[in-house]
Chain A
């Protein structure tokens, strides 16, 4: 028996079961939903345990003798103390270590790459000599950046000049939200297209041999 064909049929049936929610809630949708939750929980539990505990801790420490991993592993085990209310406080040492390490290597890099480099890249296109179009585009971006920053300046009332500039900022924000909405629609439609391609193209092709 070709198990891949059986898998295609199961996938098609589950797709239709999930789509049935669009009409109204029903047992087929519920069954598909519960199946997804159960399968996902099992898969991720095994995957995390295998890749995290076995591959990254058990094998190096107990089979290869990399004992320097032991303190990190023990720190990770402290998380399990969260399971009992009386010992919950012990788990905070592991969380504190993780937060501190993460902050340490994220904050400087983020400020550099997400803030300073972005600020530095606001004007260069206008000065690159790439023509009036590039200059105009860079000028609009500059106006947008400044007016939005002023919109988020809360230490003075948004009246007079400040109010008018922050209104321009709101307009730019709305354009940004519109672009996000458009992309979100595109993303959701793409997911529907993916399922329909499976139902109308892949499934008939596979079953037709």
Chain B
């Protein structure tokens, strides 16, 4: 095993760039934690700019008339609640405020608990009645068959709602049975589910779709927005914050933006410092090699 080169200066002290390259990772965790926690306790109220895609998402719901039907699919599980719950809350607040009829479902086995909590809280906030203003169809195994079959018959795909009530006895579903009866489909997703809604519901049945996506997924969704296969979308917590600003209701998205900005600023600093350290180390090693070659000659 080769010994590490001694990069200490003449006085025996390690140069600053060497220290930069050997920071204990726990120090970095602690600094990030402080950068995230402090703005939550002492908000800075940094401005949030609205992106065109978030504006389009808002406009798609805003243009609907009271009584219009929307499908809201909770395509995520508890691991991404922090990013996507704010979008679900804001979407339902916007929809209920406009008196839209919401048909909710989930394509994930871990989704019913999330959907019931978000639906229950927002419906209570706006005095919405289950069965007439909104319904929850629950979880249906195999998202591919679910999405495709809903184009033929929603009630055949979900013969009962989440609570076992026959779908044909729900007032909201009277005369509503396929994508053609639905004004807008909203997919709140942390996976490729949004793409499958676009491919099958959008491509095969011409369903108008908007989506809220986790940050990691958002970068894959942009092309669908550019090609107009998606009419609007929200990317990550930033997208949720933009949408909350548009509906004028501060939620977890807007409250988290200061922390998000501070953490990003800090990570940029870490990246710059790390690269400065790396470049300095390489320059030093190159200088040492040139010095050795000179003395050998």
Question: Known interface pairs A118-B223, A194-B81, A200-B41. Does A187 touch B260 (Cβ–Cβ under 8 Å)?
Answer: no
Looking at chain A's contact residues, is the secondary structure mostly helix, strand, loop, or mixed?
helix
Partner of A183, one of B79, B141, B219: B219
Q: Decide if B109 touches A44 in the complex (CB within 8 Å).
A: yes
Partner of A184, one of B216, B259, B264: B216
Is A112 an interface residue, CB under 8 A from the partner?
Answer: yes
Is A125 an interface residue, CB under 8 A from the partner?
Answer: yes
Can you list 23 A-B contacts (CB < 8 A)? A48-B109, A51-B138, A52-B141, A60-B159, A112-B199, A120-B227, A121-B227, A125-B226, A185-B264, A186-B237, A187-B214, A187-B216, A189-B259, A189-B264, A190-B83, A190-B214, A190-B237, A194-B82, A194-B256, A196-B33, A197-B255, A197-B256, A200-B37
Is A117 an interface residue, CB under 8 A from the partner?
Answer: yes
Partner of A193, one of B223, B235, B260: B260
B interface residues (Cβ-Cβ under 8 A, vs A)? 26, 29, 32-33, 36-37, 40-41, 79-83, 109-110, 112, 138-141, 144, 148, 159-160, 195, 198-200, 202-204, 214-216, 218-219, 223, 226-229, 235-238, 252, 255-256, 259-260, 263-264, 267
The interface residues of chain A lying within 8 Å CB-to-CB of B216 are 180, 183-184, 187
Q: Decide if B227 touches A117 in the complex (CB within 8 Å).
A: yes
Q: Decide if A183 touches B144 in the complex (CB within 8 Å).
A: no
The interface residues of chain A lying within 8 Å CB-to-CB of B237 are 186, 190, 193
Q: How many A-B residue pairs have CB under 8 A?
A: 131
Is A6 an interface residue, CB under 8 A from the partner?
Answer: no
Is A158 an interface residue, CB under 8 A from the partner?
Answer: no
The interface residues of chain A lying within 8 Å CB-to-CB of B195 are 114
The interface residues of chain A lying within 8 Å CB-to-CB of B148 are 105
The interface residues of chain A lying within 8 Å CB-to-CB of B227 are 117-118, 120-121
